[in-house]
Amino acid sequence: MYAIMGITGQVGGAVARALLRDGKKLRGIVRDKSRAANWAELGVELVTAEATDVAGLEAAFRGAEAIFAMLPPAFAPAPGFPDARAQIAALRQALDAVRPNRVVTLSSIGAQHDHGLGLITQLHLLEKELGTLPVPNAFIRPGWFLENSLWDVVPAREHGRIDAYLTPLDRPFPMVATEDIGELIATTLQEQWNGLRRLELEGPRRYSQMDAADTFARLLGKPVVSVPILRDQWQATFEAQGTPPGRTGARIEMLDGFNSGWIEFERGGTEYSQGRRSMEEVFRELIQRV
């Protein structure tokens, strides 16, 4: 039996689908069972636990052959990442108490660095803490999620434009589909190893913001252009989109890290692989979803 955190989200759901295809028994760890009714219908055992509930996490982890662990997504964290630090502490304590056979944890490209990461700082902290556990441990470091472009579907369809924060527009960035991430995690959960592993993953090739606009144009059958948003407009833009004042800094620092090339794969001492799903395949699914 495999315990899966985040089963109602993109990556956790992709992990669960891959494991179910392999005929595995699953336990989904959720905050609200009503949001995961579709998984219960597929035979997944559901247990509830908050991300900071040590006793709840321990109970959810016990009896599992292997565990997929992750932090809840946080795109507007408070300065200093207090929520992530509390979640990491609880997760480490629960895993240390249970000592499972294997733990596979969602991290990120660039998490090897201790500064200049913005939002990815949370995952550097996660690796630092969980990396000291006395169990076989694997960190999955994917590139930029292709599914982040879900928010571009409506402006591409209605206005023929997408806003670009990754620049220059013709520079290819490491991107990957969440289904490919889920499949790598599911495969790793079923492997045997000792010690600590770091697995880095991107798609079949790198993509630029011009590639994104061209892909939307082909799929929508209309011209679409990628329009760079000037950096001095980012804070106001993010706040207009709903980010609370004072909470935009981590997102801006992350984008700066990608644009400067600082946020990249480590390669040395890591395992590197490429997924199969193209930007066009993912964008076609996003368009059908919206």
99 alpha carbon, distance to own chain's centre: 24
pLDDT for 146 equals 98
pLDDT for 88 equals 98
Cα 238 from Cα 241, distance rounded (Å) = 5
Cα 78 from Cα 122, distance rounded (Å) = 11
Task: Give the model confidence (pLDDT) of 188-219 as tens digits.
Answer: 999 999 999 999 999 999 999 999 999 999 99
pLDDT for 279 equals 98
Of 172, 147, 176, residue with least CA distance to 258: 172
Percent share of the chain, pLDDT over 90: 100
Can you give the residue ranges of every domain in the chain? Answer: 2-289
DSSP string for 218-267: HHHTS--EEEEPPGGGHHHHHHHTTPPTT--HHHHHHHHHHHHT-S----
pLDDT for 173 equals 98
Cα 150 from Cα 192, distance rounded (Å) = 36
Cα 91 from Cα 231, distance rounded (Å) = 36
Of 278, 284, 279, residue with least CA distance to 153: 284
- Whether the ω angle into residue 168 lies within 30 degrees of 0, i.e. cis, is yes
Reported confidence tier of residue 257, pLDDT bands at 50, 70, 90: very high
Task: Give the model confidence (pLDDT) of 153-173 as tens digits.
Answer: 999 999 999 999 999 999 999
Reported confidence tier of residue 12, pLDDT bands at 50, 70, 90: very high
pLDDT for 112 equals 98
Mean pLDDT of the region 40-66? 97
Give φ, ψ of 191 to 5 degrees.
-90, 165
The model carries a pTM of 0.97
For residue 51, give every residue at least 6 positions away whose Cβ sits within 8 Å of its Cβ, in sequence order, or none. 31, 71, 72, 87, 90, 91
pLDDT for 80 equals 97
Reported confidence tier of residue 23, pLDDT bands at 50, 70, 90: very high
For residue 272, give every residue at least 6 positions away whose Cβ sits within 8 Å of its Cβ, in sequence order, or none. 199, 200, 201, 265
Task: Give the model confidence (pLDDT) of 216-230 as tens digits.
Answer: 999 999 999 999 999
CATH architecture of residue range(s) 2-289: 3-Layer(aba) Sandwich (3.40)
Structure tokens at 244: 């609370």
Cα 139 from Cα 199, distance rounded (Å) = 6
> In whole numbers, what is the pLDDT of the chain averaged over residues?
97
* Contact predicate 229/164, CB 8 Å: yes
Reported confidence tier of residue 87, pLDDT bands at 50, 70, 90: very high
Cα 241 from Cα 255, distance rounded (Å) = 17
Mean pLDDT of the region 5-34? 97
